[in-house]
Amino acid sequence: MEMGNPEQDGPPTLYDWAGGEKALTELTEAFYREVLKDDLLEPMFRGMSSDHPRRVAHWLGEVFGGPTTYTAERGGYSTMLGMHLGKAITEPQRRRWISLLQDAADEVGLPADPEFRAAFTGYLEWGTRIALANSQPGAEPVKHAPVPHWGWGVHRLHALNRADHAYVTRRVIRLPNRVIMTGRRVFHVMLFRFALGLARFR
């Protein structure tokens, strides 16, 4: 799978980490194959255009820090908004959409590290909840806005480059799973200490 340049300054974008346009296109193609077999989602997507998966791949790519292809070719946020207006999406449909897309991510081999999957799933949750709200009868969404840009979030590991991140992950898997709980946060103690030590030497 094509990956981002590990020598670049700063952390890679989610787009690069995922594998770029090729990986996201494979993701959406695998996803929509299953959507058209699904009893909850098929009625919503019946009759979709053959290039719909590619368009969604471009949207995800732009959101995750890649090229602005969706905006250039489709018009950006307002076009995506228009795809959901009046659809009256239900909560079961929203959850099924996320579930099938996560299954597709596994099928096509998107990175499985916890940081990427947390960021990926975070966007899916946020985006689908916005889409559900905007799709309801009488909704009055913001009509014009920029395409959202989704990043890694606040993780200490993201101070590391990709090579160091992979090294940390491989090493920590072999360490005892010592964790401490503080409210809703769970810290893998050995991972945090090791990552912090690497960051100090960069």
Q: How far apart are CA 65 and CA 161, in angstroms?
A: 17
Residue 170 has pLDDT above 50, yes or no: no
Q: How far apart are CA 92 and CA 105, in angstroms?
A: 20
Domain that holds residue 131: 14-135
Cβ–Cβ under 8 Å, residues 18 and 64? yes
134-143, pLDDT tens digit by residue? 999 999 988 8
- What 3-state DSSP class applies to 186? strand
Please count the structural domains in the chain: 2
Residue 181 has pLDDT above 50, yes or no: no
- Do 38 and 96 have their domain in common? yes
Q: Is residue 145 part of a domain?
A: no
Q: Is residue 3 part of a domain?
A: no
- Token pair in block for residue 29: 């193609």
98-150, pLDDT tens digit by residue? 999 999 999 999 999 999 999 999 999 999 999 999 999 999 988 888 899 99
- Do 89 and 171 have their domain in common? no
72-97, pLDDT tens digit by residue? 999 998 888 888 898 899 999 999 99
Q: Is residue 6 part of a domain?
A: no
Contacts 24+ apart (CB under 8 A), 161-164: 161/6, 161/7, 161/8, 161/11, 161/202, 162/3, 162/4, 162/6, 162/11, 162/12, 162/17, 163/6, 164/198, 164/202
Average pLDDT value over all residues in the chain: 78
Q: Is residue 102 part of a domain?
A: yes
Q: Is residue 40 part of a domain?
A: yes
Q: Is residue 166 part of a domain?
A: yes
- Do 30 and 71 have their domain in common? yes
